[in-house]
Amino acid sequence: MTYRDFYLFDGEGGEGTSGNTGVATSGEEGTALEEKKDDDLFDDSYDDSEEADDESSEGENADEPKDLSAEFEELIKGKYKDLYDARVKDTLSKRFKNAEADRSRLGEYEDALFVLYDKYDIEPGNLNGLKEAIAKDGELLEERAEREGLSVEQYKYQKKLEAENRRLEAEQRKRAAKEQADALYEQWESESAELRNVYPHFNLKKEASENPEFMSYLESGMSVRKAFEAAHIQELISGAIQMATKETRKNTIDTVRARGLRPRENGMQSKAPLKVKKNISNLSNEDMDRINKRVARGETVTF
């Protein structure tokens, strides 16, 4: 699935103006607050312009595949055939190991029950017959009832009630788990609908089935948007850089044409890239919006 579309928000608000009284206007206060937030989020001392340039040029040269299924088939049968085959073999191997472990445990249960099958002369594997034989074993029931201080009938009735309670509790737990899962999925669906306003091609089911990293973020308690952006942070930043570069070029050309200004010489140093201080998984929606704005202004953001 491709998530290359990156819709940036509108630019930041304008600054206020003030006279010579020395009193800051509301616009200046907003600018100061904006700069403080930037100081908390970005590390201006980080300098990795060469790496950022490489990523930017890679983003510019990347073409959107027209047929992802055909491209995928071509890759797994060609360039990535060995890696794909190894991954499939590893997955099958793990499944076989789990199945073998289940068979081993089942065999141990059968061995433990064999004594009872032999005691009651029941064909091994006939669990219903074994259950009936134990229920009719007066000697066993008398011993258990006496230990509980009950008659045989009272003991049988008590065990029947206990079994029924266990069944009802299991059903209640299963129902509660399903309701919780349904509620969580509805929440994810609602968040997905909102996220498609920003990333129109987002598909929750496809992302969940094809991207384990996204699911791990989601299951850890992240919102759908934070999980998606954390799982695709490099792609999103690359797309933003590509879009910002094109927009900056266009604005520069328009400015030069409108004002008759000379473009900056190539030898002049550009501003050093900004390094985000926070871990990707800790970025809030506001943080991502602020990063998008900085990228839209033509600045380079790294992690």
Given this model, what pLDDT does residue 234 score?
75
Q: Which two tokens stand for residue 218?
A: 């989601």
Given this model, what pLDDT does residue 32 score?
58
Given this model, what pLDDT does residue 41 score?
62
Q: Where are the domains of the chain?
A: 43-65+232-303, 80-133, 137-222
Q: How far apart are CA 147 and CA 159, in angstroms?
A: 14
Q: Is 120 exposed, middle or buried (0-12, 13-18, 19+ CB in 10 A)?
A: middle
Given this model, what pLDDT does residue 106 score?
76
Taking alpha carbons only, the member of 62, 63, 58, 51 closest to residue 300 is 51
Given this model, what pLDDT does residue 175 score?
92
Q: CA-CA distances (angstroms) from residue 199 to 8, 64, 140, 210, 263?
A: 10, 15, 68, 17, 34
Question: DSSP string of 115-171?
Answer: HHHHHTT--TT-HHHHHHHHHT-HHHHHHHHHHHT--HHHHHHHHHHHHHHHHHHHH
Q: Going residue by residue through the chain (303 aa), what tens digit of pLDDT does each one get? A: 444 444 444 444 444 444 444 444 445 555 556 666 666 666 655 555 554 455 554 544 545 545 777 777 777 777 777 777 777 777 777 777 777 777 777 777 777 777 777 777 888 888 888 888 877 777 777 888 888 888 888 888 888 898 899 999 999 999 999 999 889 889 999 999 998 898 888 888 888 888 888 888 888 888 998 988 888 887 777 665 566 566 666 666 666 566 554 555 544 445 566 666 666 667 777 777 777 777 777 677 676
Q: How far apart are CA 98 and CA 103, in angstroms?
A: 9
Chain length of the chain:
303
Q: Which two tokens stand for residue 275?
A: 């390094």
